[in-house]
Amino acid sequence: MTLSWVAVNVNNGQMIADLPELDVRGTFGCTMMRYETQAASFPALSAPPNWRQATRPGAVWIVCLDDDGLSPLWGGMVIDRETDHEGLVQIVLATPEAYFDRRYVGDKTYTGTAQNLIAKDLIDSYVKTAAMAGIAMRVQIVGSNGTPRDRSYKAVEDKTVYSVLGDLAGVIGGPEWTVGWENVNNLITPVFYVGNRIGVPAPVGLQPAARFYLPGPASSAKVKESYTSQLGANRVIAVSSGVDDARPQSSQKSNTTDLRPSFEYRWSPSTSITDTSTLDAHADRALAAMKDGGLGLELTANRAEAPKLGRDWSIGDDIGFDLVSPAWPDGIYGVGRCVGWRMDADIIQPLIDVTSIGGI
């Protein structure tokens, strides 16, 4: 099984060059609603003659193609390039979400507008090729248009599309979004997916389509539990900006069902929120995510033998696991959501967010 790398024009998706000697440092991957960066290198002396055009910072995607040489799995924009006297070219790539943080939102008001349509309009207006040149990108709403929301943004607030999407997703029932890739008529472009839920849940009463076993394709597993200041809290308040004591904030959201002492968390989901009900929604979502702390499962599996990314499972899908090892002689098992993944030519690592794990 062999991955391949190509350079693609960010404006139209046209392939510029094959990069057979590109060496990606470690694993690469993506995470829902967040951008990732990746380092890579290649020798200039044996690279394609147009390697400078094919790695021009800010103008090119470097895209990983699956074993079929056609299906794009991952891509990142060249944002840094360094060439030394011996001809080694080192580049830094950033996934498309990082471009969202380079585009600013103008004066926009949405009244009773479905949340997924708000997200779509933000991408259409400020990210895609439009009045101000953007990148070639398709927007796909997954499922319904979502809950109606009232939102107002002003150019003077200097908010990026990335930050506004984060604000929109940060309330209870807010939209989820991610970026994938497609190859249509040999044009390779990113796709912005937004919906009330990204990915496929396990059918009621049935197992999900993808399941990882240890022993089996999975070679290692880690269960990560955390109650750090960013992952665990049982008393939460969301705040906005204000003057002196006139600061909008939510009511305190509390979880008192376990025996932990009070752990407080206060943060500002956005500096422009004046409606306390919106702050309450942010606080409710944060408490739901933090009240039991963080619980995650990281699997490493043989890519050739494991359920196949893009066919058997994708980011946002439910994934099953059944793991037996010296640490878990009776096995641990369950179902969780894939919130990200990392891979290289040999391994695949789904990052699984779980609410509980059977057997521990």
pLDDT at 130: 66
Q: What does each C-alpha distance from 188 to 12, 55, 167, 255, 276 come to in angstroms?
A: 8, 16, 29, 47, 43
Rounded to whole angstroms, the Cα distance separating 33 from 224 reads 21
3-state secondary structure at position 134: coil
pLDDT at 256: 85
270-327 confidence digits (pLDDT tens): 777 888 988 999 999 899 989 999 988 989 999 999 999 999 999 999 999 999 999 9
pLDDT at 41: 98
pLDDT at 272: 74
pLDDT band of residue 88 (cuts 50, 70, 90) is very high
223-243 confidence digits (pLDDT tens): 999 999 999 999 999 998 765
Question: Could you tell me the two tokens for 265?
Answer: 């968390």
3-state secondary structure at position 232: coil
Q: For 93, which DSSP code?
A: E
pLDDT at 351: 93
Phi, psi at 350, each rounded to 5°: -70, 135
- Contact call for residues 282 and 193 (beta carbons, < 8 A): no
pLDDT at 270: 79
Phi, psi at 155, each rounded to 5°: -60, -35
- Residue corresponding to tokens 């389509």: 209
Q: Is the pLDDT of residue 208 over 60?
A: yes
Q: Is 45 exposed, middle or buried (0-12, 13-18, 19+ CB in 10 A)?
A: exposed
Report the mean per-residue pLDDT for the chain. Answer: 94
pLDDT band of residue 103 (cuts 50, 70, 90) is very high
pLDDT at 244: 58
Query: Residue range 329-347: average pLDDT?
Result: 95
Query: Residue range 97-109: average pLDDT?
Result: 97
pLDDT band of residue 209 (cuts 50, 70, 90) is very high
Number of helices and strands in the chain (H, E): 5, 22
Provide the whole-model pTM. 0.90
23-55 confidence digits (pLDDT tens): 999 999 999 999 999 999 999 999 999 999 999
Query: Residue range 172-199: average pLDDT?
Result: 97
pLDDT band of residue 185 (cuts 50, 70, 90) is very high
Q: Is the pLDDT of residue 359 over 80?
A: no
pLDDT at 259: 87
3-state secondary structure at position 111: strand
pLDDT band of residue 133 (cuts 50, 70, 90) is confident
Rounded to whole angstroms, the Cα distance separating 131 from 109 reads 19
pLDDT at 101: 97
pLDDT at 174: 95
